[in-house]
Structure 1
Amino acid sequence: MKSRFTSLLVTLFALAFLYIPILTLVMQSFNSSRFGGEWKGFSLKWYEALFNDAAILDATLNTLIIAFCATILSTILGTLSAWALHRFQTKLQEANYTLVYAPLIMPDILMGISLLLLFVSIGADLGLVTVVIAHTTFCVSYVAFTVLARLQDFDFSIIQAAQDLGAGWGRIIRQILLPLLWPGIAAGAMMAFTLSMDDFVVTFFVGGPGSTTLPVKVFSMMKHGSPAIINALSVIFMSLTFTVAIAGQIITNKKSHK
């Protein structure tokens, strides 16, 4: 009985630690006070000011463009990587596995600095393209291991049966592989989209003029003292991220029950 009470207490403390700051942020976004020191009444003026700020809208557009491009590229590359890692068991594949796994454990600041040095060494202009490449670099690993987990339970006898019936690889991919792997691919894509949307450190290093994203914009606004608008922006940004993350979790759960 005492053990259950302790577990419940620890769980409640952890939930409070995680979500009370978020609830405070949401409440302050509707506070008419600029700095949030005291409640001065309900107001939507900070959301109105947010949607009238051209710089924030440009940063939002950049964020979405980068996230969508990085998601598409990392989903394709990650799915192919997962297929290769699962199907071909060689010593070379063990090295490839290490290379795919490395971005998961590499500190963001190290990845950002290394990519910046790479782009500078080849003379690339920093901008949206370099940010998309950088985001794709670390998102590929998450997609690959998500799809790889799906492949662990894949019954390859289905492919052999289809080949015995005369189906070519084009038809096998369209009618067997993609439908059966789709939950894993979709979950990996949503994870990549969320990571790209939230990234600050890598973007800060490899971004250039005209490629400011929302996390970088928020950091800049914090330095210049615009807390009220930042609250409203954070609520919208957080809602979008949570929606994508929850959708990915639902798809993953459906996959595990099949």
Structure 2
Amino acid sequence: MRTSWVASSVALGALAFLYLPMLAVALFSFNKTRHGLSWGGFTLGWYARLAQDPAILEAARNTFLLAGVSTLLATLLGTLFALGLERHPFAPRVRAFLEDILHLPVVTPDLILAAALVVAFGFLRAVSSLFEPGFLPMVIGHVTFQVAFVALVVMSRLRSLPKELDEAARDLYATYPDYLRRVLLPLLTPGIVAGAMLAFTLSLDDFVISFFTAGPTSQTLPLIIYASTRRGITPEIHAVSTLVFSLTLVLVLLGERLTRRSA
């Protein structure tokens, strides 16, 4: 009983440590007082000012466009990777090697991955100016780490499906495209959607890789927030941080619910 009480207390303390700072940011985004910690009354004015700030609006457009494009590409590539790895008869050593490679972007620090991308784009710029810092390198950079997360989620869903489905499809003379379209993909849809939401969330919140690959006209909300905090935190930054956090939280909860439903 005592152990259970201690574990619950530690869990609640950890949650408070994680979310109380964000709750404070959300609270001050509704504070009329521009500077200081004193409460000056409730207002929605800082959110209204965001809609009139061209820099914030452009950054928001870049952020969602980048997250949308990279998520589509990562979902397609990650799903294909999972299907190939789980359904292709690889030798055990080859399969283990591919799975190790798949986990590398998950465990590699963002700073190292970003530095590697800078070096790679430096070589590619000698071939084409398309790889100058800007939107295309940012999409490529985000896809490099999103693919692994999508593939892992889809693979977990694939492994929960009985392998007899393949044999049943062959017994019924179904071609592989028909089996994929009518049976496998519908069963994988919850996992694919959950992986896509996770990838979108990771792209939405990413700072390090965006910082290393962004150009002058491709600033995102995390970059704008970082630049603004160096000049002094304002209520507008509290407001935009609250909006980004709220959207991320909603996507994470939806993805977690879909994953549970898949299980």
| TM-score for both structures, normalised by structure 2 | 0.93
Question: CA contact under 8 A between 1:198 and 1:215: conserved in structure 2?
Answer: yes
1:254 matched to 2:256? The reply is: no
**2:145 paired residue among 132, 138, 149:** 138
Alignment of 1:11-22 (within 5 A): 11-22=11-22
Aligned to 2:123: 121
Q: Could you report, residue by residue, the CA deviation over 1:208-229 in whole angstroms, capped at 9, with x for unpaired residues? A: 1211111011001111224210
Give 2:102's aligned residue: 100
**AA in 2 matched with 1:89:** F
The residue aligned with 1:39 is 39
Secondary structure at 1:31's aligned position in 2? coil
C-alpha offsets along residues 40-65 of structure 1, whole Å, 9 cap, x if unaligned?
11111111111110110100010111
Alignment partners' CA distance in 1, 2:36 and 2:256 = 34
State the Cα deviation string for residues 194-239 of structure 1 (Å, max 9, x = none).
Answer: 0000000011001112111110110011112242100000111111
Equivalents in 1 of 2:174, 2:36: separation in Å?
Answer: 65
Q: Which runs of 4+ in 1 moved over 3 A?
A: none
Give the TM-score of the pair, scaled to structure 1: 0.95
Q: Is the partner of 2:58 in helix, strand or coil?
A: helix
Q: 1:187 aligns with which of 194, 210, 216?
A: 194
Q: Distance in 1 between matches of 2:59 and 2:108?
A: 27
Q: Aligned residue pairs: how many?
A: 256
Farther-moved stretch of structure 1 (133-142 vs 207-216): 207-216
Give the Cα separation in 2 of the matches to 1:128 and 1:106. 23
Q: Displacement of 1:36 after TM fit?
A: 4.0
RMSD, aligned CA: 1.3
The answer to whether the 8 Å contact 1:143/1:185 transfers is yes
Matched AA of 2:190: P
Q: Does structure 2 retain, via aligned residues, the 8 Å contact 1:147–1:184?
A: yes
Question: For residue 178 of structure 2, what is the aligned residue in structure 1?
Answer: 171
Aligned match of 1:6: 6
Task: Tell me which of 225, 230, 235 is aligned to 1:228.
Answer: 235
Distance 1:117 1:50, change over 3 A: same
Aligned residue number for residue 89 of structure 1: 90
- Consecutive unaligned residues of structure 1, counting only runs of 5 or more, are none
1: CA distance between counterparts of 2:64 and 2:41?
33
Distance across 1 between alignment mates of 2:90 and 2:155: 13
Give the stretch that moved more between structures: 86-95 or 148-157.
86-95
Q: Take 1:68 and 1:35, find their aligned partners in 2: how far apart are those partners?
A: 35
| Secondary structure in 1 matching 2:32 | coil
Taking the aligned partners of 2:219 and 2:30, their CA distance within structure 1 comes to: 26
Deviation at residue 163 of structure 1 after TM alignment: 2.1
Q: Which residue of 1 aligns with 2:50?
A: 50
1:161 to 160, 163, 168: 168
Which position in structure 2 is the counterpart of 1:71?
71
CA-to-aligned-CA distance 1:105-126 (integer Å, 9 cap, x gap): 1110000011011111110211
* Letter aligned with residue 24 of structure 2: T
Give the aligned residue type for 1:203. Answer: S
3-state SS, counterpart of residue 43 of structure 2: coil
Q: Match for 2:179: what amino acid?
A: I
Instruction: Please give the per-residue CA displacement for 1:55-114, whole angstroms capped at 9, x wherever unaligned.
Output: 101000101111011111111111111112222332333322222111011110000011
- Map 1:202-241 onto structure 2 (within 5 A): 202-241=209-248
Whole-Å Cα distance in 2 between the matches of residues 168 and 195 of structure 1?
36
Question: Contact conserved, 1:127 with 1:206, CA < 8 A, in 2?
Answer: yes
Percentage identity across paired residues of the two chains = 40
